[in-house]
Amino acid sequence: MARDWLYGWLDAHGITTVPQARAALIIRSRANDLRDRALAAEQRGTEPPVGSSSLSGIAMGAAIDLSGTLDCFGLECMEAQVERLFRKTWHYFDKVVVDDPWRHEIGHHLFEGGGRSPELRERFMRHLHIRLLLRQLGAESLVVFRPKWPLGVASLDEAIRAQGLEAVQARVPGLVKKIARESVVRDGGIESDGRRWRLDHPNLEHSQWGRAKSVDVDVDHPLAVVAAQAVVSNAFNCLVADVSAARAVGMPLGASVWLQRQLPGDAETATSSPAFAMQLPYLDDVPVADLLALRDSEHDSFVRFRAAIRTAIRERQKVGPEVGNERIADEIEADVIAPELGRISGRLETARKILERRQNRSVLLGTILTTAGLITQIPPLVAGGMTVGAAAALAARSAFDSTEENVQDSDMFFLWRARDYSIHQ
């Protein structure tokens, strides 16, 4: 795989800390080298990462792709993504693909106006912190930074049609009204760049901020509706980009977003969607080097697990939505997925005991709630009515033929609720 452009810049100038990076950007030659590397990387395009097969990789969606999109740009938020989710799931995959917006931002925007872009520069420093953290954890080779292509008006419409998301798009106005009705929207006053607002919703992970043109706010379009329109539209656009990006690299989509799952499908879609909820085991508070070594030694177990999920989805599709078939679906899960999960749990328990003896301290075995299914049929409800996170009901128009025998990895999603994990001895 080609060397990552940003890690290359850090190494070329001996940068190992964020303060060193700040100092380097003051030096014109080093700043120019960063911009040149960013532009060169952008011109190379967004081809799939070489050396990672779809069988063993996963493409992370917004809110868990280290970009800050749909989550927050704060350093603690992005560190939490690494700690809460990546460390609990990445040993199931050989490569984790995350967003890389910085080759474009640095190449075209960071140095505009003689470098007077303090907000963008601070976001870039936080991104560098995460890059250096991944290197410190020993996960540099695991995480692949790949930009999600920009969505303009024309390309967005084209992508919606290509991914079969027209019916989901049609539900956006209804969700805007719902979010506006349920949210508290605070008017931040009129400034030179527009009317600022803050939206708080009880189920959104963070407060949402934005600004609107003063002419867009009137009696027929109150500030609450204008703010909700911006928030929901952004979530939907990110969903389209995530689905497109995952398919572009031929990998399953990993997702975890509350707002996107508020775009539900109809009852038939919810019943017939071939999805399975499970508790994936993981080892807590274990050095990444040990996790990666464990993944390598137990590689066949994780390969069999992913193959079992594909088999279960294929068999579940044959069952159909008829009343009474839920029992058959449960039997498929018990017969196909559960044995492989049991093997992985046993292997991790053995590894836990070995690591405890080696480290002379407790190592905990935990689980994280995960749902797997077809990317075009992400259900709003699975496992007896338990709501699970991310883009609900993409099956309005399925790009996947339900009679197809060969379920590809790029047709699949893995769905996590980052808060739904438990730890036990």
**Per-residue pLDDT reduced to its tens digit, 266-299:** 433 433 455 677 788 888 878 777 877 887 888 8
pLDDT at position 303 is 83
Task: Please give the pLDDT value at position 418.
Answer: 44
Reference 146, options 60, 256, 69; nearest CA is 60
Q: Which amino acid, 58?
A: I
pLDDT at 153: 52
pLDDT at 164: 81
pLDDT at 58: 85
pLDDT for res 275: 67
Whether residue 59 contacts residue 255, with contact meaning beta carbons closer than 8 Å, is answered with no
Contact between residue 198 and residue 209 where contact means Cβ atoms under 8 Å apart? yes
Q: Are 64 and 416 in contact (CB under 8 A)?
A: yes
Can you give the pLDDT at residue 138?
82
Q: How many CB atoms lie within 10 A of CB 407?
A: 19
DSSP notation for 304-348: HHHHHHHHHHHHHHHH-S-TTHHHHHHHHIIIIIHHHHHHHHHHH
Regions of the chain short of the pLDDT cut 50: 1, 50-55, 264-272, 323, 377-407, 418-425
Helix, strand, or coil (residue 6): helix
* Per-residue pLDDT, 380: 33
> What integer pLDDT is reported at residue 383 of this predicted model?
27
User: What is the pLDDT at residue 361?
Assistant: 81
Structure confidence at residue 39 (pLDDT)? 92
pLDDT of amino acid 24: 95
pLDDT at 124: 93
Q: Say what the pLDDT of residue 356 is.
A: 87
C-alpha dist (Å) from residue 211 to 123, 172, 229: 19, 20, 12
Task: Look at residue 151 in the predicted model and tell me its pLDDT.
Answer: 56
Distance CA 258, CA 268 (A): 22
Output the pLDDT for position 410: 57
